Copies of this chain bind each other. A is one copy, B any other.
Amino acid sequence: MRIAEIGEFGLIDRIASRLPKLGEGVVVGIGDDAAVLRASDNKYLLTTCDIQVENVHFVRDQISPQQLGLKSVAIKVSDIASMGGIPKYLTISLILPKETSVEYVDGLYEGIGQACELYGTELVGGNMARSPAGIIVDVFLVGEVETERVLLRVGARVGDRLLVTGNLGESAAGLALLLNPGATCAEAHRQRVLEAHLTPKARLQEGRAIALSGLATAMIDVSDGTVSDIGHICDMSHVGARLWAANLPVSEATLAAARATGRDARQMALEGGEDYELLFTAPAERADELAQQVQQQTGTPVTVIGEIVPVAEGISLQQADGTRVPLRRGGWDHFR
């Protein structure tokens, strides 16, 4: 049987079910944004890794090496942010074709260094190898979080509100422009969505504010796609979710890029992925307070976009007229 037949998530489930049982030191193993490990009495250690493969995750002439370095680190910081944690130490594996220029590598590490300064992390090691085809960057990040503040995918309860930082769909809008070089829209819109796609920011301050509030019940970052990532919270929390269409935060820039490329902006927001916004849940009676608090502390808008419902209801979109349509999980699967 080929892995394409069971898909990335089927393969991960299969591996996880066959591994030796985990010990007491492992609070969360495979199946969240980062592993959660007992480190000391009051802190957990968080570990996470993510790979960027040329012609799978990026195309070399569409992203500068500096942007690639910055993005590779930011998306890992996002996984630590989504657990409410603080990123600490980076280790990077770099696989390069022999003909790569030193200037390209310089650019890559310029971006990595910028990300280190931006997020307060340090590059402490790594390794290099020759690539048979294309550039591959694998970033490992170790972080930490107070034991009483960690936020997981599990924890959402029926009745909770679903909140999100920033806007949804901007990264997909940027990708749509890159894939349609002829499409035109206002330069400010173009810049904004390209930046969202090429150099996404990790919502580190926001994640800390949400965790320290003590009000949130579960959290994840938007990497695979909004519906797919809400689905991860639903799976782990054994709940369903109802999104409110009228509340989805979609920027003017995303709308403009969607029009320019003949795409549906709402679909970009729901399925696009790579926004690296934080999706989180909180009790209904405290949701508005939490949204305001995070917005005041960080300057980043926070929107209540739906509610947590019983698991049997699945994931649906409630439209302005009150009708509901089921949402397909979609999201990216590497092997299908």
Contacts and interface: CB of A to CB of B under 8 A. Distances in A.
Interface of A: 1-6, 8, 11-12, 14-15, 18-20, 22-23, 25-26, 29-30, 34-35, 37, 39-40, 45, 47-51, 53-57, 88-89, 91-93, 95-96, 98-103, 105-106, 109-110, 113, 116-117, 122-134, 136, 138, 140, 142, 334-335
A-B pairs, 6 with minimum CB distance:
A35-B124, A133-B133, A35-B125, A140-B140, A130-B334, A1-B102
Given A11-B102, A89-B35, A50 B2 contact: no
Given A29-B125, A39-B40, 17 more contacts: A3-B98, A3-B101, A11-B102, A11-B105, A14-B105, A19-B109, A29-B122, A34-B125, A35-B89, A47-B125, A48-B91, A49-B93, A57-B129, A95-B136, A96-B335, A128-B334, A132-B133
A69 B136 CA distance: 20
B138 A51 contact: yes
B53 A125 contact: no
Contacts of A101: 1-3
Given A14-B102, A30-B125, A124-B37, A132 B53 contact: yes
A15 B49 contact: no
Contacts of A116: 19-20
Given A2-B98, A47-B89, A102-B2, A22 B124 contact: yes
Nearest to A5: B102
User: What number of copies of this chain does the assembly contain?
Assistant: 2
A23 B130 contact: no
A124 to B, nearest CB: 4
B142 A100 contact: no
A48 B125 contact: yes
Contacts of A55: 132
Contacts of A23: 122
Contact of A127 (B3, B49, B124): B49
Given A26-B124, A126-B49, A127-B49, A2 B100 contact: yes
B19 A113 contact: yes
A110 to B, nearest CB: 8
B40 A40 contact: yes
A51 B135 CA distance: 13
Contacts of A5: 102
Contact of A132 (B12, B92, B103, B134): B134
20 contacts: A2-B99, A3-B96, A3-B101, A3-B102, A11-B102, A14-B102, A14-B105, A18-B110, A18-B113, A22-B124, A23-B122, A29-B124, A29-B125, A37-B142, A49-B125, A53-B129, A56-B129, A95-B136, A96-B335, A133-B133
